[in-house]
Amino acid sequence: MPHASQLIGTDLRFLVIAMAIGLMALEYGISRLAGHDTHDWRESAASFGVALGQTLLRSLEAGVVALPFAFLYRHRLFDFDQTSPAALAALFIGSELLYYWQHRASHRIRWMWATHSVHHSTTRFNLTAAIRLGWTGSISGNFLFFLPLAWLGFHPIMIVAMLGINLFYQFFIHTEFAPRLGPLEWVLNTPSHHRVHHASNEACLDQNYGGILIVFDRLFGTFAEPPAHEPLRYGLVGGKASFNPFKTALGEWVAMLRDLRKAQGTGARLRALFGPPGA
């Protein structure tokens, strides 16, 4: 018989999914009423296909990814009350800082970009773009950036929960139907900041990496406002939009391995795998 916590978790997942779909439908309806071209139904359908594949694969790999977190937590440096306000604040700031560097690395290291490029492949910026996440995050090594939190003494479940809050928040900033938020724009990653992050305009490339916070972009020099005299364009630089979820999820891996096969010499091969995308 299912445990009560399992039933609550299942109900919560269904509630979140239902809410997300409802907000997507509302955004689409508003865009139609406003005559604003924010959706391509084929692209949105592909995003749902990518999201389904990512969800299935994440479930399969969860046990494997959990092992290094469990090992480091077993050998943790400190023991403390996980639920104290100080610990929760430290976990939030720490996870935000590590997310910033993981996200930044995902744009600058092609091995990681092969996964993250999936998220940037949409040519329309709307809530359905938020669920278009790569299938190969564990192969790219995204989880490695957060292992220090477990070594310091944060329980893996707490780490996963905090990163889940980060991901949940980011769903809401994938929209063009949101005003600027005044003073909060200085601290939070807002829809206006995230539109810049997704834009393929030259002035917007590799900017605004934050999750919930934008302060680390301001601190480390990767913050950008929207360009003043040009509209934002979305999608991959030099890329072609695909409505096939498999091509979308694996296309950059195929291109990277093709370049690796053509590369001459060790240096060229390492650049093909770990150099900046497009270099």
User: Which of 186, 181, 277 has the alpha carbon at shortest distance from 238?
Assistant: 277
User: Which of 212, 208, 199 has the alpha carbon at shortest distance from 172?
Assistant: 212
**Residues with pLDDT less than 50, the chain:** 1-2, 4-8
Q: What is the pTM of this model?
A: 0.93
Q: Give the pLDDT confidence score for residue 145 in this predicted structure.
A: 98
Q: Give the pLDDT confidence score for residue 19 in this predicted structure.
A: 87
Q: Give the pLDDT confidence score for residue 10 in this predicted structure.
A: 59
User: Which of 139, 111, 127, 179 has the alpha carbon at shortest distance from 54?
Assistant: 139
pLDDT digits (tens, 9 = 90+) for 237-260: 987 888 999 999 999 999 999 999
DSSP string, 15-75: HHHHHHHHHHHHHHHHHHHHT-----HHHHHHHHHHHHHHHHHHHHHHHHHHHHHHHHHHT
Q: Give the pLDDT confidence score for residue 7 in this predicted structure.
A: 42
User: Which of 46, 37, 4, 15 has the alpha carbon at shortest distance from 245?
Assistant: 46
Q: Please give the Cα distance from 185 to 174 (Å, whole number).
A: 15
b (16+ CB within 10 A) / e for 92-125: eebbbbbbbebbbbbbebbbbbbbbbbbbbbebb
Q: Please give the Cα distance from 96 to 119 (Å, whole number).
A: 19
